């Protein structure tokens, strides 16, 4: 698997289903915002709707951080739209408001190196892309392992804190907690407190 951290995020252009409508989206059109791009295996499956709803529950917090959330799977935009119209009680994602990209040709999953070629579906990859289009974080879960959306939100806050203040965020850092200067003296000061 490729490590994309520190590299320019692969550009994409795809049709997305967004709350009953279709829209073409490119990564470059989101320049100036942070982007959380996440891949999931398939529509109408099991762990996937729990993740899509978890991102929806935190969508307001991501937007307050000038961060766009975008889902992506190898299904068509028509399949995404049907799933968006399916109630939660029936395993659907009704109420999800962020875009879900159709990657039916599997090019986006391949470019981000999360495609399982033999299965033709994507692993649960999550990418944090900064305002300049650089990948700053990536994680990839196997199919049965759902991701932690709160951790993704924490990583966005940590990245933005670093961008604003130039300091680094130690292990388990949360917004409002102590950071440190990225120097030997900064580390000593951090541990001394």
Catalytic residues: 48
Cα separation values, 137 from 6, 34, 119, 153, Å? 8, 12, 25, 12
Q: For the stretch 138-173, what's the b/e string if a residue is b when 16 or more beta carbons lie within 10 angstroms of its beta carbon?
A: bebbebeeebebeebbbbbbbbbbbeeeeebbeeeb
**CA pair distance 182, 167, nearest whole angstrom:** 6
């Amino acid at each position: 698997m490729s490590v994309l951290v520190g590299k320019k995020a692969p550009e994409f252009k795809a049709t997305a289903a967004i709350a009953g409508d279709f829209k073409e989206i490119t990564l470059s059109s989101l320049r100036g915002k942070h982007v959380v791009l996440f891949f999931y295996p398939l529509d109408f499956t099991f762990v996937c709707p729990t993740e899509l709803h978890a991102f929806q529950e935190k969508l307001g917090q991501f937007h307050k951080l000038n961060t766009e959330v975008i889902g992506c799977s190898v299904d068509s935009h028509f399949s995404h739209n049907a799933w968006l119209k399916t109630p939660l009680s029936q395993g659907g994602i009704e109420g999800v408001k962020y875009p879900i990209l159709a990657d039916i040709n599997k090019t986006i999953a391949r470019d981000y190196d999360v495609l399982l070629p033999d299965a033709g579906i994507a692993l649960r990859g999550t990418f944090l892309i900064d305002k300049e289009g650089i990948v700053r974080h990536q994680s990839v879960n196997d199919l049965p392992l759902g991701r932690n959306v709160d951790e993704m939100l924490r990583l966005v806050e940590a990245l933005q804190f670093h961008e604003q203040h130039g300091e680094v965020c130690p292990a388990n850092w949360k917004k409002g907690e102590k950071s440190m200067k990225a120097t030997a003296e900064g580390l000593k000061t951090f541990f001394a407190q």
